[in-house]
Amino acid sequence: MKELAAALPHGRLLTDPDVTASYARDRTFARPGIPRGVVLAESVDDVVATLRWASAHRVPVVPRGAGTGLAGGATAVDGCVVLSLARMTRIRELSPEDEIAVAEAGVITADLDRAAREHGLMYAPDPSSAGISTIGGNLATNAGGLRCVKYGVTRDSALGLEVVLADGQVLTTGRRTVKGVTGYDLTGLFIGSEGTLGVITAATLRLQRLPGPLSTVAAEFASLRDAAAAASAIIAAGCRPSLLELMDRTTLQSIDEWKNIGLEPGTQAMLIAQAEGPPDEMAALCRAATFVATSSSEQEAAELIGIRRLAYPATERLGQCLVEDVCVPRSVLPDMISRIEEAAARHGVMIATIAHAGDGNLHPVFVFERGLDEPPPEVWAAADEVFTAALELGGTLTGEHGVGLLKKRWLELETGPVVTELHHGIKRLFDPLNILNPGKAI
C-alpha cells in the first residue's frame, strides 16, 4: 500500500477503515467485503497507476462511480481497492457542430444534459437517477431511463470510449463519426460489462437536437393490467412517445404518503406519456382510464414527470428493497404485469411495480423487513417466478441495471452453457489475473 500511495498524488489514497467503509457498497442491501483502500482518481494517470500496481500484486479492483447501482455491481470484495472515478468530472469537449461531447466518467448525467442544452442539444439517456448517477456508471451498466423508448439506451449514444485495461494500458475505442465499422465493436463490448473488462475513464457521446413542444398525458386506471394495455396501444398506434411510464398502486401510495399527491382511492395504476405534438391521440388510447389529464404548461409537465422520479425513493421508505428490471416484448407487457401480481399474491410478498412501459422494461421492487442481511425465502421464491415468467414471455433478466451480484443466480437460465463459456473466455483475455470487479456480472 505504501507503494501505491507513492505512485499517486498526495491525498488520493484513503486507508482509514471508517472512511473506506463508506465507499464499499452501492444502493442495494448486498453486504460488502472490507476494502484495503480507496483510490480517489482525478485523472487517467491515477487509474493507470492503480491498475499497474494491482496487476503487479494481484489485488482486486472494484471500479465505482456514484454508488447508485441497484444490482450490487459496485460492492467491495474483501481485500480489494475501490477505484472511485467520481472526481473525474471534466467535460473535455462539447461540439455543437458535430453534435458530440467528450465526458469523463465522473460527470453527473444531468450535468452533461444541462451543458448540451445551452447549445440547443440534449444528452438523451435519462435514467431516473440522472441527477446523481455518473456517465461511467451508466456506461458500465448500459443504463436506460425514461427517454429510451424514443432515443435508445446508453449504448445508442456512445460513439467511443477511453478505457484503462487491467495491466494499465490505455485503450481508445470507437470514433467521432456517425458511421464506422473498422474492426470489432469494442465500444459495444465494454458498455454493459460492469467494470469486469476494463475501467471506462471517458466517452465520446452522441448528442440530440432538442425536440419541439412536448405534450404530457397522465391517466389513472382501476387496474394495472388496463394501464399496461393502454401503453401497448400507444406504441402500436405509432405515437412515438419520448416517455411512457407506468406505476402501480403500491408505488403511488408510497409517493402519496410522502408527498401528498392527492391519490384517489380507486386508482390502481397511473400511466404518464409524453410526445411531440398534441396529446389528443395518446389520451384517446387510454380508453379504460378512470381519469385523464393533459399538461397545459412546461411546469405542469415537469410536475407530472416528477411524480415518476419519486417512485424509487418513496418505495425505499417502506422497507429494504430488492429492485429488479426484467424486460419483455412490449406486446406481452400486460401478461408480464399479471404474472408479477400472481407471484406477489402466491407468496404473500409486497411488490411495487414501476415500468418504462414503452420498451417493456419493468421494475418489480420486492419490499421486505429492514435489518435483514438478505431477502427472506418468500421474496426469493417470488423473484424466481418473476424471472422465469420474463424468460417464458421472450424477455430478459435485466434491461438496464446489470447483473452485478444479485442476478447471478439466474444468469444461466438466459445465457446457456455456450454463451457462458464465451463470457469467461473474453474475461480471461482482458483480465487474465481476474482482478477487475471479480465475482460480478458473469
Give tens-digit pLDDT for 182-216. 999 999 999 999 999 999 999 999 999 999 888 89
Question: What mean pLDDT value characterizes the chain?
Answer: 95
For residue range 143-196, list pLDDT tens digits in order.
Answer: 998 899 999 999 999 999 999 999 999 999 999 998 889 999 999 999 999 999
Pair 193, 228 in one domain? no
Q: Give the three cell numbers for residue 216.
A: 404530457
Pairing mode, strands 269-276 and 214-221: antiparallel
Q: Tell whether the torsion through CA atoms of 279, 267, 255 and 235 is positive or negative.
A: negative
Classify residue 360 as left (phi > 0), alpha (psi -120 to 50) or beta.
left
Last residue of a domain, one of 276, 295, 314: 314
How far apart are the C-alpha atoms of 426 and 402, rounded to whole Å? 18
Mean pLDDT computed over 57-65: 98
377 occurs within a structural domain: no
- Same domain for 164 and 238, yes or no, is no
Q: Do residue 174 and residue 216 come from a single domain?
A: no
Structural domain for 198, as ranges: 91-209
**Residue 351 phi, psi (nearest 5):** -125, 120
Q: Of the candidates 161, 181, 209, which is a domain's last residue?
A: 209
pLDDT confidence bin for 128, thresholds 50/70/90: confident
In a domain, 231, yes or no: yes
How far is residue 371's CA from residue 373's CA, in Å, rounded to a whole number?
A: 6
CA distance 406 to 30: 8
For residue 155, being part of any structural domain is answered with: yes
Percent of the residues in the chain that have a pLDDT greater than 70, as a whole number: 100
Statement: residue 440 has pLDDT above 80: yes
Would you say residue 438 lies in a domain?
no
Residue corresponding to grid cell 406486446: 331
Upper half-sphere CA count for residue 383 (Cβ side, 13 Å):
23
Confidence (pLDDT) at 214:
86
The mean pLDDT value for 268-274 works out to 95
Provide the CATH number for the domain around residue 160.
Answer: 3.30.465.10
Is 282 domain-assigned?
A: yes
Tally of domains within the chain: 2
pLDDT at 277: 82
- By percentage, how much of the chain surpasses pLDDT 90? 88
Residues 241 and 308 in one domain: yes
- Residues whose CB falls within 8 Å of the CB of residue 73, separated by 6 or more in sequence, listed in order: 26, 140, 141, 194, 195, 402, 403, 404, 405, 437, 440, 441
Q: Are strands 81-84 and 61-64 parallel, antiparallel or unpaired?
A: parallel
- Indicate whether 76 pLDDT > 80: yes
Q: Measure CA 101 to chain center.
A: 21
Q: How confident is the model at residue 2 (pLDDT cuts 50, 70, 90)?
A: very high
Q: Which of 314, 348, 382 is the last residue of a domain?
A: 314
Q: Tell me how far apart the alpha carbons of residues 367 and 379 are, in angstroms, rounded to a whole number.
A: 8
| Cβ burial 136-166 (10 Å sphere, 16+ → b, else e) | bbbbbbbbbbbbbbbbebbbebbbbbbbbbb
User: Residue 222: which CATH number?
Assistant: 3.30.70.2190
Residue 204 sits in the same domain as residue 237: no
> What are the tens digits of pLDDT across the range 83-106?
999 999 999 999 999 999 999 999
User: Residue 178: what pLDDT?
Assistant: 87
Q: What share of the chain is helix, strand, coil (3-state, %, to 5)?
A: 35, 25, 40
Residue 348 counted as domain residue: no
What residue spans of 8-65 are helical by DSSP H?
Answer: 17-20, 44-57
